Amino acid sequence: MMRDDALNQIEQLLAEQKRMAERLDHVERKLDRQLGERAGAQSIDQTDTVSMLRMACAERGVIVTADGRVGENDAAALLGKASQTLRNWRAGARPLPFSKIGGTVTYHLQDLAELLDGGKSDA
C-alpha cells in the first residue's frame, strides 16, 4: 500500500516536472523571438540579457545568490552547453570568470550575459 502511494507521488512529480519543462520551453521560445526582434532593430543591452537570464532562472526554479551567481550545472543549462564544456573552458583557452568555494563552482549572471552577448568570449 505504501509502495503504491510512493509510486503515485513519483508519477505526480514526473507529470508536474513535464508540465514545468513544457512551460519553460514556451518561455524560452518567446525569449528567443524577442531577442531576435530586438537584435534586428538594435544591439541588445547587457542589462536586458541579465534580466532575461534572471527570468529564465525564476522559471526553472534556479537559485540565484544575492550577488547574482548560479551553480555550474545551472550556468551550463542557461548557456545551452554541457557542464563539462564549462569545465573545459575553465581549464583551456576560453576563460569564463568563476568562483570556487569549497569545491562548488559558481558563475555571475553578468559574466554569462557578456558571453551570450559576444563580450569577453564567444559561445
pLDDT tens-place string over residues 38-91 = 555 544 444 588 989 999 999 999 999 999 999 999 999 999 999 999 999 888
Q: What are residue 101's DSSP bridge partners?
A: 104
Contact between 78 and 56 (Cβ < 8 Å): yes
Q: Which residue, among 98, 97, 54, has the nearest Cα to 78 in the 3D structure? A: 54
pLDDT in tens, 3-26: 888 888 889 988 888 888 788 777
CA–CA dist 97, 8 (Å, integer): 43
pLDDT of residue 37: 65
Position 121 pLDDT exceeds 90:
no
pLDDT of residue 104: 92
102/30: higher pLDDT:
102
Q: How many residues does the chain have?
A: 123
- Evaluate if pTM is beyond 0.75: no
Q: What are residue 71's DSSP bridge partners?
A: 106
Q: Which three cell numbers stand for residue 89?
A: 573552458
pLDDT of residue 65: 92
Residues 33-38: what's their mean pLDDT?
A: 67
pLDDT of residue 118: 79
pLDDT of residue 98: 92
Contact between 83 and 73 (Cβ < 8 Å): yes
